[in-house]
Amino acid sequence: MMSTYYAGLLADVGILLLGALSVYIILATGQLSLGNAGFMGIGAYLTSYLTVTKELPLTVALVIAAAASGAVGVMVGFPALRLKGIYLAMATLGFGEMVRSFFLNFDLMGGAGGFRGMHHVSLGYIWTWAAAISLSVAVLEHSQIWLELRAVRDDETAAALAGLDTTTIKVGSFGFAAAVAAIAGGLFAHHHVYIEPGNFGFERSIDFVLAVILGGSTIGAGALVGSLLLVMLPEYLRFLAEWRFTVFGALLIAMLLVRRQGILDRSLFSVSRLGRSA
């Protein structure tokens, strides 16, 4: 039987994985979002409102929150079309901070004091969602749509000239990512049974990006490796007591220097496949 300590950590891994996948989907089109914690916050607050105040079952609430956040994602995606690269990243950062600031002022749900009353969910439930979303991302990765996403990433002008609808692709990826991040938020709220606006700030957004880049941004499984690493590494460094984050930061820099493409990348998999066929 797993201890509650490890169960808690694994729940965090599952939630972080969903957040990382939401960044991964947007990154696949060559866009960097530093504001996905904003979508997570929308999902967390909306799901909690639906389960606590409206007494809906959690699964129904999560689906509604994902749809609503997806709609917000599409709304954010349209103006985002005007921006590229680091400028888009800074705009999404601003969006995330605006959402956090909004909930800070949203007195109906506790404002700065936070919101409670949710029921705790099991680890199995969290990972059922994490597995289902991972599976749909894996299916997506082997579809025509993914080729179109990557075409937009590699050269947007060429993709448009080839007849791809780049607007739908970019906006759609924002919408899907926002829905995934909202599910991460709903699960977070029902795992920790307490939320406050500070849970969904810039540091959370950057954690998602970090998980993707450390794990490997060219392949979906990278998000899983990165999420495991980000949650477990600080735990394994506990023996360093108050210095553990210094070592954690140093290891992070070292990993980026040694493997800037992330721990997993596509070439790793194609080499092993070649080896088998030979």
Partner 1 sequence: MLLQQLVNGLTLGAVYTLIALSFSLVMGILGVLNLAIAELFMLGGYFGFAAILAKLPLPVALLAGMAGAALVAAVIERVGYQPLRNAPVVTPMLSTLGFSIILQNVATNVWGSDPLQLPDELLAARFTLGPVSASAMQLTVIGATVILVALLAFIVQRTSMGRALRAVAENRDVARLLGVSAGPLTLLAFMLSGALAGAAGVLIGLHYAAITPYIGVEIGLKAIAVMVVGGTKRIWGALIAGPIIGLAEVMTTAYGGSQIRDFVVYGLMIMILLLRPQGLLGDRHTEQGPRV
Token output for 159: 């993709």
Question: How close are the terminal C-alpha atoms of the chain, in Å?
Answer: 43
Instruction: Return the number of other C-beta atoms located less than 10 Å from residue 38's C-beta.
Output: 33
Helix or strand holding residue 195 (H, E)? strand 194-195
By CB under 8 A, tell whether 165 contacts partner 1. no
| Residue 242 one-letter amino acid | E
Residue 235 beta carbon to partner 1: minimum distance, rounded to whole angstroms: 16
**Of 151, 203, 140, 123, whose CA–CA distance to 29 is shortest?**
151
Q: Rounded to an integer, what distance in angstroms lies between the CA atom of residue 109 and that of residue 115? A: 6
d(CA 20, CA 217): 10
C-alpha span between 223 and 22 (Å, rounded): 10
**What's the rounded Cα separation, in Å, for the pair 96 and 73?**
12
| Three-class SS state of 56 | coil
Does the footprint of partner 1 cover residue 219 (CB under 8 A)?
A: no
Helix (H, G, I), strand (E, B) or coil at 67: helix
- CB nearer to partner 1: pick between 257 and 274: 257
Q: Is 104 in the site for partner 1 (CB under 8 A)?
A: yes
Of these, 236, 249, 267, 270, which contacts partner 1 (CB under 8 A)?
Answer: 249
210 binds partner 1 (CB under 8 A): yes
Stretch that binds partner 1, among 135-143, 169-177, 200-208, 221-229 (CB under 8 A): 200-208
Q: Which stretch binds partner 1 (CB under 8 A): 10-18, 28-36, 140-148, 181-189?
A: 28-36
In terms of CB distance, is 51 or 227 closer to partner 1?
A: 227
- What is the smallest separation between the CB atom of 209 and partner 1, expressed in angstroms? 7
CA–CA dist 77, 93 (Å, integer): 14
Residues 43-102 that bind partner 1 (CB under 8 A): 79, 82-91, 93-95, 97-98, 100-102
122-130, 140-148, 237-245, 270-278 -> range binding partner 1 (CB under 8 A): 237-245
Residues touching partner 1, count (CB under 8 A): 46
For position 253 contacting partner 1 by CB under 8 A, the verdict is yes
Piece of the chain touching partner 1 by CB under 8 A; list 56-64, 164-172, 245-253, 270-278: 245-253
Q: What is the DSSP string of 165-180?
A: -HHHHHHHHHHHHHHH
The structure tokens listed for 63 are: 């689906």
When asked if residue 198 is in the footprint of partner 1 (CB under 8 A), the reply is no
Residues in contact with partner 1 by the rule CB under 8 A: 27, 30-32, 79, 82-91, 93-95, 97-98, 100-102, 104-105, 111-112, 202-203, 206, 209-210, 213, 242-246, 248-250, 252-253, 256-257, 260
